[in-house]
Chains A and B, each alone.
Chain A
Amino acid sequence: LAKTTQPISMDSYEGQEVNITCSHNNIATNDYITWYQQFPSQGPRFIIQGYKTKVTNEVASLFIPADRKSSTLSLPRVSLSDTAVYYCLVEGRALTFGSGTRLQVQP
């Protein structure tokens, strides 16, 4: 199973760009990289997904280097409402989540 490692927590201020990096050294050829966001008392929800290089949507960007052993979620100009836990998921036979990164955005 591909195991992921993320920072436990990060702090930022409103308007700043936040980059959260996830390490997944044992990623398999067929695995995609997906990021989820979880607010308190809610289930996680999909943010972005990629296989290689760069993916961008209306919420975030995902950067994946050529060796695919890590990925970086980039949140542009964060706001207070981006305070949440962010999970990096590398799909395997059993879809296991890591502990996530707790992002705290300050005014």
Chain B
Amino acid sequence: DAGITQSPRYKITETGRQVTLMCHQTWSHSYMFWYRQDLGHGLRLIYYSAAADITDKGEVPDGYVVSRSKTENFPLTLESATRSQTSVYFCASSEEGRGGNTIYFGEGSWLTVV
């Protein structure tokens, strides 16, 4: 059971470049999420999706774009990467968005913008 996988795990990119982080889950969970975690800090929600073709902003959506054409995939794109977007990005999924459901996290994608 693969669960939830993220790619790439590690990425170094230059300021101004477009970067896409991929997320794939095998459970057919309805909800998927993207969080970022800056060094020594907690998790902040970037975007989430309740189902295919339905996405919504979280706490810190600026500079990011998401799409969800298929239930199992939820890519996160940094349209023009900035140094402030250097962070660890976690993708997550759950069966539902509330009501006693568990969130399952991927292993993270370490992104450095130079």
Give the B-binding residues of A (Cβ under 8 A): 30-32, 34, 36, 41-46, 49, 51, 85, 87, 89, 91-100
Instruction: Determine if B100 and A51 form an interchain contact, defined as CB atoms under 8 angstroms apart.
Output: yes
Instruction: Determine if B98 and A46 form an interchain contact, defined as CB atoms under 8 angstroms apart.
Output: no
Q: Give the nearest-CB partner of A98 in chain B.
A: B42
Interface hits, B9-46 → A, CB 8 Å: 33, 35, 41-45
Instruction: Determine if B98 and A43 form an interchain contact, defined as CB atoms under 8 angstroms apart.
Output: no
Size range of the chain B interface in the assembly: 20 to 34
Give the A-binding residues of B (Cβ under 8 A): 33, 35, 41-45, 48, 56, 58-59, 90, 92, 94, 97-108
Identify which of B56, B90, B108 contacts A94 (C-beta below 8 A): B56
Instruction: Determine if B100 and A49 form an interchain contact, defined as CB atoms under 8 angstroms apart.
Output: yes
| Known contacts A43-B92, A96-B58; is-contact A91 B99 (Cβ 8 Å) | yes
Instruction: Determine if B98 and A31 form an interchain contact, defined as CB atoms under 8 angstroms apart.
Output: yes
Q: Give the nearest-CB partner of B92 in chain A.
A: A43
Instruction: Determine if B35 and A30 form an interchain contact, defined as CB atoms under 8 angstroms apart.
Output: no
Instruction: Determine if B108 and A97 form an interchain contact, defined as CB atoms under 8 angstroms apart.
Output: no
Instruction: Determine if B59 and A93 form an interchain contact, defined as CB atoms under 8 angstroms apart.
Output: no
**What are the residues of chain B within 8 A of A34 when measuring CB–CB?**
102-103
Instruction: Identify 13 residue pairs between A and B in the complex whose beta-carbon atoms are under 8 Å apart, listed by A's number.
Output: A34-B102, A43-B90, A43-B106, A44-B43, A44-B90, A87-B43, A91-B101, A94-B45, A94-B56, A95-B33, A96-B59, A97-B44, A97-B45
